[in-house]
Each structure stands twice: as structure tokens, then as C-alpha cells.
Structure 1
Amino acid sequence: MTDLYLIRHGIAAEHGTYQNDDERPLTKEGDRKTRKVADRLKELELEFDVILTSPLIRARQTAEILKAAGLSQQLEECAALAPSGNIHDWVNWYNHWKTKPSKALALVGHQPDLGHWAELLLWGEYRDCLIVKKAGVIGISLSSEGSPIGQSQLFWLTPPKFLIA
């Protein structure tokens, strides 16, 4: 089994403050809190074989903070993690990737997409119940056999306040 960590980007500039929403960066507070979360994940001895990130700047900045904290040596952009991205595109990537020896994978993206992806992985359908807070984490064990959709198990759901308290 592979442990998958779905991590939402940190606090970003308000909607409407940038002409192109894709360019909204992390705020100073978002950067600070995300660094604290990354440091706590490192203290918990987490390590990711790879961090995949949405191409949007706020997610990319979050992923770079995770990498700088020593959580992974490898960072890759993944278009499927952009808002309204298609989980099936990521599943195709994952099915190829999982043939390599691996332990853990991090995906940095956006809400509601990460919540929806978690629901699909766990239950095979959207239920609009799971919310990933900014810089929050959902941990899911992916099935090693067949598609991970509807066959995975939740092992961790935490907002950032429990990681940086």
C-alpha cells in the first residue's frame, strides 16, 4: 500500500485581488503557517517519495515549503491538481508510478477538489462531506490492487491548527 497525503495550499491572497486567480500567492501568514505545518510533518518523520503540485502559484509555493522542510527531494507539477482537474488523469499517472517501490506520496492542491478526490478514493463517489482546511492534511492508504478509487482507507484528517498548536 502507498500512503497518500492530500495537502491543501496555505492561506493565499483574497479572491479578486489579482486579475488572474491562478497568480494569487501565499500571504505572509499563509507562508508562516505552512512552514509550521511542514516542520511538524518533518518532526512526525514523514517523508514523501514525490510531491506533486497544482501549477497554481499558491500550491507551488506550498509544495516548495514542504520540499525545503526536507519532506521530499522530488517535486513535480501535475496539471490534474489544478482546480477542476480530473482525478482519472492522476490515477493514470499513479498506476504507472506505483510500479516503483514507494512509501508515500503528497499531492498539493485546492478545495473542493482535494475533498472530492478523497471521497472518490474512499467511497467511489462525491458526498461533499470532506473539507481540507488551508494547509490541512488528509492521509489515505491506497489499495495496491486495481484502481484506488473506492478501495482506499482514510487514516488521517487534520486541520493545520492541530499541527501548529
Structure 2
Amino acid sequence: MTTSVPASKSLKLYLIRHGIAADKGNYPQDEDRPLTDKGEKKTRQVAQRLREIDLTFDLILASPLLRAHQTALILQETGLTPEVKPSTSLAPGGDINNWLSWLTQWRSQGGTHLGLVGHEPDLGHWAEILIWGEVRERIVLKKAGIVGLNLPDGNPVGNSDLFWLTSPKFLIGESGVK
């Protein structure tokens, strides 16, 4: 008698940097900086392009900072996800280990496509930790840029595969917002 072993299911993780935000000097609290008009328009263009290529997320987690939350809501309004939740792990200087604990539980519920909206250099560092197991200061996301990773079952640290790294300019072309 042969027993079948369930196929392992990789998770598609998309790390998305928030859109262009207002200058730091104009806001006493960094967390209050909103997207600029240009940042909102460019983020909408990126979101629309992602919709055109049939990218969707089971869930988007976003940094609680305003510019990241606004970016996540634009992605939701475009139909890329049914749900956006805040995550303090995605705030600047957030702890990847807290997020990894959350991820284990979320994956057990059957999620397969997850978006994270946050900040640089943290998102680039997280991608490097997931790919190489350490920060190498090599991956940098442009504003509204995206990194796509395949995370295996089990421990994704040092075991994940990069499948996508793109700037918004590549997605929306030269005709995008100037």
C-alpha cells in the first residue's frame, strides 16, 4: 500500500515599498507623512498594472505609518486584496522574528499569496534574510517597487527564492506620472 505525502505549498510573498511621501521636514511626526499627489497617482498606476497581470493577495499587511497604510488601501481599492491589516512588525525597525511567528500561524490557515507594505531599508533587509539568511545590503526597493519571493514550507530564512524585483518605472513605463 502506498501512502501519499501532501505536496508542500510554497507561499508567494510580495514586499512592496510605500509610494512617494511628503518630505520629512513638513511633518513633526514621521508616521504622519502622507503620500504626495504624485505618490498616490504612481501607486494607483502600479496597482492597476498589477491588476492587469492578475496579481492578487489573500491579505496585505501594512506598516501602521500613514504612507504605507495609504499605499495598502490603494492596492485594496484596485481589487488586489479583500483585506488590509496593520502590522507593527512592518514599521521602520520592525522585527522580522515577530512577523515570522505570525506567518507560521497565518500559513496554517491556508494563505498562499501575501503582500507586505513597508519601508526601506527594512523590506530590502527582510528579503535578504529570507533569501540568504543575512543582510547583505544588496536589495533596494524604489518607492512603490516590489520584491517577490517564494517561501518554502518550514523555515523560510535563508531558504526562499527571489522571483521578482521591479521598480514602478518598469511596471508603468515612461508614460507614468512625472
Match of 2:163 among 123, 133, 155: 155
Residue 68 (str. 1) matches residue 77 (str. 2): yes
Q: Report the alpha carbon displacement of residue 100 of structure 1 after superposing the two structures with TM.
A: 1.8
CA distance in 2, matches of 1:101, 1:81: 22
Residue 130 (str. 1) matches residue 135 (str. 2): no
Q: Report the alpha carbon displacement of residue 102 of structure 1 after superposing the two structures with TM.
A: 2.3
Match of 1:39 among 44, 48, 53: 48
Letter matched to residue 43 of structure 1: E
Per the alignment, residue 113 of structure 1 pairs with 122
Partner-residue secondary structure (3-state), 1:16: helix
Q: Normalising by structure 1, what TM-score?
A: 0.98
CA distance in 2, matches of 1:151, 1:136: 22
Partner-residue secondary structure (3-state), 1:3: strand
Where structure 1 has 5 or more consecutive residues not aligned to the other structure, the ranges are: none
Q: Normalising by structure 2, what TM-score?
A: 0.91
Letter matched to residue 143 of structure 2: K
Per the alignment, residue 113 of structure 2 pairs with 104
Partner-residue secondary structure (3-state), 2:45: helix
CA distance in 2, matches of 1:23, 1:149: 32
Residue 18 (str. 1) matches residue 35 (str. 2): no
Per the alignment, residue 5 of structure 2 pairs with none
CA distance in 1, matches of 2:106, 2:41: 32
Where structure 2 has 5 or more consecutive residues not aligned to the other structure, the ranges are: 1-9, 174-178
CA distance in 2, matches of 1:102, 1:81: 19
Aligned-residue CA RMSD in angstroms? 0.6
